[in-house]
Amino acid sequence: MPKVLIADNLSPAAVDIFKARGLDVDLKPGLSKDELIEIIPHYDGLAVRSACKPDADVIAAAENLKVIGRAGIGVDNIDIKAATAKGVVVMNTPFGNAITTAEHAIAMMFAAARQIPAANAGTQAGEWPKKAFMGRELSFKTLGLIGCGNIGSRVAERALGLTMKVVAFDPFLTEERAVELGVEKVDLETLLARADVITLHTPLTDQTRNILSAEALKKTKPGLILVNCARGGLVDEAAVRELLDSGHIGAAAFDVFAEEPAKENVLFGAPNFVATPHLGAATSEAQENVALQVAEQMSDYLLTGAVTNALNMPSITADEAPRLKPFAALAEKLGLFAGQISDFGFDEVVIEYEGEVAELNRKPLTAALLAGLLRASRGDVNMVSAPAILAESGVKLTETKTEDSPVYDSLIRVKVKTKATVNAPEGGWRTLAGTLSAGRPRVVEVKGMALEGDFAPVMLYVNNHDKPGFIGALGAMLGEAGVNIATFHLGRTEAAGEAIALIGVDSEPPADLVEKLNGLEHVRYVKVLQF
């Protein structure tokens, strides 16, 4: 039974879902890093919010961990790179608190425009400071969205309801989606020049860090209202303070800060500045929603292999998982085969999908094939870590699809270009293809030769010249060594040409036998394969 650790305060409903789905669950919020490292090896899943920080040390100790689920959007507290290298899926819940965060951004915009917190403080202090506060209307003003995804699009909807004009900078926003939302897609320079109000709704990445730099902020309209309910680090806080003091920025409202908890900050005490302590997702509805979602997503993955809202692995729906599973097994075995016969490494990988499989969700299949390919030489690699490892290695990957397959309903072919050697200064190609037969993976092509056979746990791969008597001599040598043949599959280019023998055996052939086989006159290559 998979075991899940909830290491932050989550709604009790999450515990109920894990238990109802048949998982063993422990609720232990507030663990120190050392305490977490000590117990994490016992768990398959880790559910967190923002307080628990699964860093590289924690993940390194997580021997059995398969998934980390973040009840919320931001994953700054999770070392995704370390998780990916370890083969751990990282999920978040991007939709559960989108409405709540959008509402908070709108509330902060109004609070800044009408200076509500300062007016409230003066009024309750008995000052009745009516003349001290002159607000600004938001109707018919231009709102600039930096980020127009799940949250930004909801802010846009509400701003349009306030009769604001909305412009958006988001590289992932299509023109069609912009028209659907009723916003104008612009570049960042245009947004800075036109916006009366700017709100940020983007994750913190290398591309977005300090996106509103001092230089960018100086390009904004005088009197700008600036709202950040997304992530600290997106805005140069010191520059915002200077522009608030000078009056160039008319008002600012921040729910997030570069360092949290923000007990001190350069913005505190600035004129017309409103601050809240990271409350964007702090409603009972949102916390219930993200807790339910993360529990369902983690349970689905641990029980069925379905992947939802993962940040380091292709998504697989619960409906897709059963159909993809046998093709993933085929792809992994083909990759493992190719990896074991590429003795000197490889520079390029080509994956071809033909027939019905070409119309499926191919990303998980490619990940499975790469996992097998890399596991042959690197050991502990899985579908999560394989694509990242291949990308970091600089190996070129090409994927193609063809709707029709000449012979089979579905076919997966992998071509691997091996590294150059003394005997092959330009390298060479290793080509394999396979299909499913009654749901079972089968090899149907090796080096361009038709050859149909099942995968066995141990197989002997022999590449030889097609000569009379060779097969008999090979069988005799295996028999003399006490190696029993379970299956025997042959392929060749033509009579007396190049041939392949793929032999399933009941035990691993001894090294001295393999050496003798490699020394035979008509043998080009012999390899023991493990599946």
Distance, in Å, from the CA atom of 292 to the CA atom of 300, rounded to the nearest integer, reads 12
Question: Any idea how long the chain is?
Answer: 531
Alpha-helical runs (H) found in 264-380: 284-304, 320-340, 362-378
Query: pLDDT by residue (tens digit) across 469-504?
Result: 888 888 888 888 889 998 988 888 888 788 888 999
In the predicted structure, residue 425 carries a pLDDT above the cut 60: no
Distance of CA 205 to the CA centre of its chain: 14
What distance in Å separates the CA atoms of residue 526 and residue 448, rounded to the nearest whole number? 18
Predicted model pTM: 0.71
Q: In this predicted structure, what is the pLDDT of residue 428?
A: 83
Q: 199 has which bridge partners? A: 145, 227
Cβ contacts of 340-343, under 8 Å, gap ≥ 24: 340/376, 340/527, 340/529, 340/530, 341/430, 341/461, 341/525, 341/527, 341/529, 342/376, 342/377, 342/416, 342/418, 342/430, 343/418, 343/527
**Residues 352, 74: Cα–Cα separation, whole Å:** 36
Residue with tokens 């409103």: 274
Question: Domains in the chain, start-ordered, CATH in brackets?
Answer: 3-93+285-304 (3.40.50.720), 98-275 (3.40.50.720), 314-453 (3.30.1330.90), 456-531 (3.30.70.260)
Place of tokens 């529990």: 295
pLDDT at 372 exceeding the cut of 90: yes
**Which region, left, alpha or beta, applies to residue 272 given φ > 0 means left and ψ of -120 to 50 means alpha?**
left
- How far apart (Å, rounded) are the C-alpha atoms in residues 210 and 219? 15
Residue 65 contacts residue 385 (beta carbons within 8 Å): no
Task: Write the DSSP symbol of residue 307.
Answer: B
Segment 330-349, tens digit of pLDDT: 999 999 999 998 888 888 99
Burial class (CB in 10 A: 0-12, 13-18, 19+), 392: exposed
Strand partners, 415: 350, 431
Amino acid at 271: P
pLDDT at position 74 is 81
Tokens representing residue 71 in the block: 């009840």
pLDDT in tens, 1-16: 899 999 999 989 999 9
Residues tagged active-site:
231, 260, 278
Give me the pLDDT at residue 423, please.
57
Residues β-bridged to residue 68: 46, 90
Report d(CA 164, CA 146) in Å as an integer: 16
Pairing mode of beta strands 249-254, 89-91? unpaired
